[in-house]
């Protein structure tokens, strides 16, 4: 993997030591160039007539194709969303639309989930649905606790594939086994994993997955995917009806696919088609053209670099960072390897450490930005249900030398 070449796409990272991919990736020229290309097409290439609708969404299927390669899915199982929260809401609403939420139902999550999970699911309280929150043990989610929490009344298990603060990364296959044995679904928020670690949704047998573009995927700010397993695309009706996402039959391509040009454009009959048997039935209307141009370009770029290569590099960076931190007396809190009774697999680059004192963690984290010559950006204090420390998230564009400089400066601040 040619790190120098990768770095050329991130013009700001030479001015700082950027270690914050878990928050958001730095400005990336792959996005910028694609957005410019999109707007130049609009400015110079558009017919400025009624046919704009066709190219507004021309990159959507291409983005789904690249996304599918990255996550081990079929393009038909991906629908484009704005980001994670929209995807979680779609699933919550879709399940309730197909079978009303009732008192006695429960939904299982963990106290290591990002607030977007819990906050969205809280809305189920009004139906009397129980929200079961599994408590971590020393930052780990234990198999036994998941087995005890999920029962025949569980309608959904929601996990964050890599926990936002601790970096605990699930072996999602195990979670799916537990859920499926009890007849329920798994919704996997993989935003902190995809783009850094290999994700294979088919192999894991995941039911639903949500992600967003702007963290480890280095994409634009406002794009995401919702994955719905093929059998569920055929089984579940969408709760959000969009006249655009209907199946107009085979042989209809390009502009013809849209109802806008039809002679009876404004009649309900024009839109009276079934939903497609793909995840597109869950799409919430139109997509953001320039964002999808950018995201498609970034996904293609990531696939070209190779997800296995990226994973290898990021696992190495995570390990290197951990060793360096421990050398200066910090404790790394991210579980590194699978543990027999916990539901985790190997970690990637997201790393949480503590200097040993909360006060010193706060002080040193605030001071990192003051590093002479190049500031350190990205390390952030994180606490989730009492498990906390400082989160550092290097990505494939970072070098070992940058990690050395960060750790040497931290050591100085600690003394």
Ligand X SMILES: Cc1ncc(COP(=O)(O)O)c(C=O)c1O
Among 13, 21, 164, 317, binds ligand X (CB under 6 A): 164
Spatial separation of the C-alpha atoms in residues 299 and 64, rounded to whole Å: 9
User: Minimum distance from CB of 225 to ligand X (Å)?
Assistant: 12
Contact range with ligand X by CB under 6 A, out of 172-180, 189-197, 347-355, 379-387: 189-197
Q: Applying CB under 6 A, does 196 fall inside the site for ligand X? A: no
User: Minimum distance from CB of 82 to ligand X (Å)?
Assistant: 7
Q: Would you say 332 and 352 are in contact if contact means Cβ atoms under 8 Å apart?
A: yes
Q: Applying CB under 6 A, does 176 fall inside the site for ligand X? A: no
The nearer residue to ligand X, 344 or 355, going by C-beta atoms, is 344
Spatial separation of the C-alpha atoms in residues 91 and 392, rounded to whole Å: 31
Q: Applying CB under 6 A, does 271 fall inside the site for ligand X? A: no
Range 90-119, binding ligand X (CB under 6 A): 114, 116
What is the pattern of x (binds ligand X, CB under 6 A) and - over residues 40-79? ----------------------------------------
The nearer residue to ligand X, 163 or 355, going by C-beta atoms, is 163
Q: Applying CB under 6 A, does 160 fall inside the site for ligand X? A: yes
User: Minimum distance from CB of 237 to ligand X (Å)?
Assistant: 24
Q: Applying CB under 6 A, does 85 fall inside the site for ligand X? A: yes
Expressed in angstroms, the distance from the first to the final Cα of the chain is: 36
Q: Would you say 287 and 60 are in contact if contact means Cβ atoms under 8 Å apart?
A: yes
Q: Applying CB under 6 A, does 222 fall inside the site for ligand X? A: no
User: Minimum distance from CB of 190 to ligand X (Å)?
Assistant: 8
Helix (H, G, I), strand (E, B) or coil at 413: helix
Q: How many residues does the chain have?
A: 415
Spatial separation of the C-alpha atoms in residues 38 and 289, rounded to whole Å: 8
Q: Applying CB under 6 A, does 311 fall inside the site for ligand X? A: no
Burial 316-336 (b: 16+ CB within 10 A, else e): ebbbbbbebbeeeebebbbbe
The nearer residue to ligand X, 214 or 320, going by C-beta atoms, is 214
Q: Would you say 37 and 293 are in contact if contact means Cβ atoms under 8 Å apart?
A: yes
Q: Which two tokens stand for residue 23?
A: 């928050």
Among 71, 84, 317, 392, binds ligand X (CB under 6 A): 84
The nearer residue to ligand X, 213 or 355, going by C-beta atoms, is 213
Query: Who's near 395: CB < 8 A, 6+ residues apart?
Result: 21, 25, 196, 216, 218, 314, 317, 349
Q: Which two tokens stand for residue 384?
A: 């989730």
Q: Would you say 26 and 12 are in contact if contact means Cβ atoms under 8 Å apart?
A: yes
Q: Applying CB under 6 A, does 212 fall inside the site for ligand X? A: yes
Q: Applying CB under 6 A, does 83 fall inside the site for ligand X? A: yes
Contact range with ligand X by CB under 6 A, out of 5-13, 125-133, 186-194, 196-204: 186-194
Q: Would you say 335 and 342 are in contact if contact means Cβ atoms under 8 Å apart?
A: yes
Give Cα 89 to chain centroid, integer Å: 15
User: Minimum distance from CB of 116 to ligand X (Å)?
Assistant: 4
Spatial separation of the C-alpha atoms in residues 236 and 194, rounded to whole Å: 26
Percent composition of the chain: helix, strand, coil (DSSP 3-state, to 5): 45, 15, 40
Q: Applying CB under 6 A, does 191 fall inside the site for ligand X? A: yes
User: Minimum distance from CB of 287 to ligand X (Å)?
Assistant: 16
Q: Applying CB under 6 A, does 189 fall inside the site for ligand X? A: yes
Q: Applying CB under 6 A, does 27 fall inside the site for ligand X? A: no
Q: Applying CB under 6 A, does 211 fall inside the site for ligand X? A: no
Query: Who's near 391: CB < 8 A, 6+ residues apart?
Result: 22, 165, 167, 350, 351, 352, 379, 380, 381, 382
Four-residue CA torsion sign, 270, 275, 280, 285: positive
Neighbouring CB atoms inside 10 A of 119's CB total 12
Range 361-400, binding ligand X (CB under 6 A): none
Q: How many residues bind ligand X (CB under 6 A)?
A: 11
The nearer residue to ligand X, 189 or 311, going by C-beta atoms, is 189
The nearer residue to ligand X, 124 or 191, going by C-beta atoms, is 191
Contact range with ligand X by CB under 6 A, out of 187-195, 323-331, 375-383, 403-411: 187-195
Contact range with ligand X by CB under 6 A, out of 119-127, 140-148, 188-196, 386-394: 188-196
* Binding site residues, ligand X, CB under 6 A: 83-85, 114, 116, 160, 164, 189, 191-192, 212
């Amino acid at each position: 993997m040619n790190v120098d070449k990768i770095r050329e796409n991130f013009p700001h990272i030479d001015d700082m030591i950027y270690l914050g991919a878990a928050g958001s990736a730095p400005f990336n020229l792959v996005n910028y160039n694609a957005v410019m290309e999109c707007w130049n097409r609009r400015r110079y290439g558009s017919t400025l007539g009624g046919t704009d609708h066709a190219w507004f969404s021309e990159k959507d299927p291409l983005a789904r194709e690249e996304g599918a390669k990255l996550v081990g899915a079929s393009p038909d199982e991906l629908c484009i969303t704005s980001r994670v929260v929209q995807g979680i809401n779609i699933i919550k609403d879709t399940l309730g639309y197909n079978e009303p939420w009732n008192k006695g139902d429960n939904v299982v999550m963990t106290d290591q989930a990002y607030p977007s999970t819990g906050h969205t699911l809280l809305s189920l309280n009004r139906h009397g649905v129980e929200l079961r929150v599994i408590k971590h043990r020393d930052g780990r989610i234990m198999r036994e606790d998941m087995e005890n929490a999920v029962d025949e009344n569980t309608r959904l298990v929601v996990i964050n594939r890599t926990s936002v603060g601790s970096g605990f990364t699930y072996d999602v296959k195990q979670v799916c086994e537990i859920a499926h044995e009890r007849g329920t679904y798994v919704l996997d928020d993989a935003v902190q994993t995809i783009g850094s670690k290999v994700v294979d949704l088919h192999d894991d047998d995941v039911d639903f997955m949500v992600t967003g573009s702007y963290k480890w995927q280095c994409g634009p700010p406002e794009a995401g995917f919702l994955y719905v397993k093929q059998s569920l695309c055929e089984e579940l009706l969408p709760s959000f009806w969009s006249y655009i996402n209907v199946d107009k039959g085979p042989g209809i391509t390009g502009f013809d696919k849209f109802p806008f040009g039809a002679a009876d454009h404004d009649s309900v009959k024009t839109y009276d088609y079934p939903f497609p048997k793909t995840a597109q039935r869950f799409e919430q209307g139109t997509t953001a053209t320039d964002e999808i141009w950018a995201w498609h370009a970034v996904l293609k770029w990531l696939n070209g670099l190779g997800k296995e290569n990226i994973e290898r590099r990021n696992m190495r960076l995570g390990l290197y960072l951990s060793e360096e931190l421990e050398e200066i007396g910090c404790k790394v809190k991210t579980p590194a390897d699978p543990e027999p009774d916990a539901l985790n697999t190997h970690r990637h680059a997201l790393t949480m450490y503590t200097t040993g004192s909360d006060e010193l963690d706060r002080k040193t984290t605030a001071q990192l930005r003051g590093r002479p010559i190049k500031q350190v950006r990205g390390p952030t204090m994180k606490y989730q249900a009492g498990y906390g420390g400082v989160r550092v998230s290097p990505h494939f564009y970072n070098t070992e030398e940058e990690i050395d400089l960060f750790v040497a400066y931290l050591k100085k601040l600690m003394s």
